[in-house]
């Protein structure tokens, strides 16, 4: 398996003054600024105050934009910026044409998943594809199947050479 790495930065911001709604908006702002990943962890700070630690993973070329969000959106006057390297393998998007059927009626659907290093056993259905399929099933068959259930069923289909139909 081939591994690759590229320069990256991790920003660590500690906040104890922001509501959940504001934090959600801040996450969106970090992604708009070029972040590859954003995580918010619950914590406890001085005087036993509830707080959050925000971790932002971004390429160095987005440092200025990410720091602008830290200052303007988080209202933080200090943060940690850690230079690091991100290690990863080849990931590709795969598609499989499916027939979705129930009671003699069927529709076609192009399911998408991600595969690591050309290994079919690693295929995971894409979340957006599962949501799209959930909406299609609700619209065409008037049934509701959870995204979690669809992820499991699509994974089985992706891992099987014989399966290309989802009966509901």
Domain boundaries, the chain: 4-88, 91-167
Residue 10 pLDDT level (bands cut at 50, 70, 90): very high
Chain Cα centroid distance, residue 43: 23
Superfamily for the 4-88 domain? Transcriptional regulatory protein pf0864 domain like (3.30.70.1380)
| Alpha carbon distance 152, 154 (integer Å) | 6
* pLDDT at residue number 89: 87
Give the chain's length.
168
Compute the CA torsion angle 35, 37, 38, 43 (nearest 10 deg). -140
| pTM passes above 0.85 | no
- Tokens matching residue 90: 């080849």
Strand 4-15 to strand 49-58: parallel, antiparallel, or no bridges (unpaired)?
A: antiparallel
Residue 4 has which token pair? Answer: 């690759």
pLDDT in tens, 30-87: 999 999 999 999 999 889 999 999 999 999 999 999 999 999 999 999 999 999 998 8
**Neighbouring residues of 62: CB distance < 8 A, sequence distance ≥ 6:** 33, 34, 35
Give residue-wise pLDDT tens across range 133-162.
999 999 999 999 999 999 999 999 999 888
pLDDT score recorded for residue 142? 95
Lowest mean pLDDT, pick from 1-15, 21-35, 93-107: 1-15
The reply to whether CATH 1.10.287 applies to domain 91-167 is no
Token digits for 78?
């200090």
Produce one character per residue of 71-104: b if its CB has 16 or more CB atoms within 10 Å, e if not: eebbebeebebeeeebeeeeeeeeebebebeeee
Residue 29 corresponds to which tokens in the numbers above? 């702002």
Q: What is the pLDDT of residues 88-134, one digit of tens each?
A: 888 999 999 999 999 889 999 999 999 998 888 999 999 999 999 99
Both tokens of residue 49? 């105050």
Residue 27 has pLDDT above 70, yes or no: yes
* Per-residue confidence (pLDDT) for residue 1, from 0 to 100: 64
């Amino acid at each position: 398996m081939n591994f690759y790495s590229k320069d990256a930065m991790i920003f660590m911001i500690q906040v104890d003054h922001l509501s959940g709604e504001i934090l959600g908006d801040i996450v969106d702002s970090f992604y708009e600024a070029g972040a590859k990943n954003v995580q918010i962890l619950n914590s406890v700070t001085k005087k036993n105050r509830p707080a959050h630690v925000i971790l932002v993973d971004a390429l160095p070329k987005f440092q200025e934009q990410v720091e602008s969000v830290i200052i303007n959106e988080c209202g933080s006057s200090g943060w940690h910026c850690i230079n690091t390297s991100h290690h990863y393998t080849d990931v590709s998007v795969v598609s499989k044409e499916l027939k979705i059927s129930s009671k003699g009626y069927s529709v076609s659907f192009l399911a998408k998943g991600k595969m690591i290093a050309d290994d079919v056993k690693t295929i995971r259905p894409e979340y957006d594809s599962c949501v799209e399929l959930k909406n299609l099933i609700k619209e065409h068959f008037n049934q509701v199947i959870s995204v979690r259930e669809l992820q499991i069923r699509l994974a089985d289909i992706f891992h099987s050479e014989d399966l290309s139909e989802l009966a509901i």
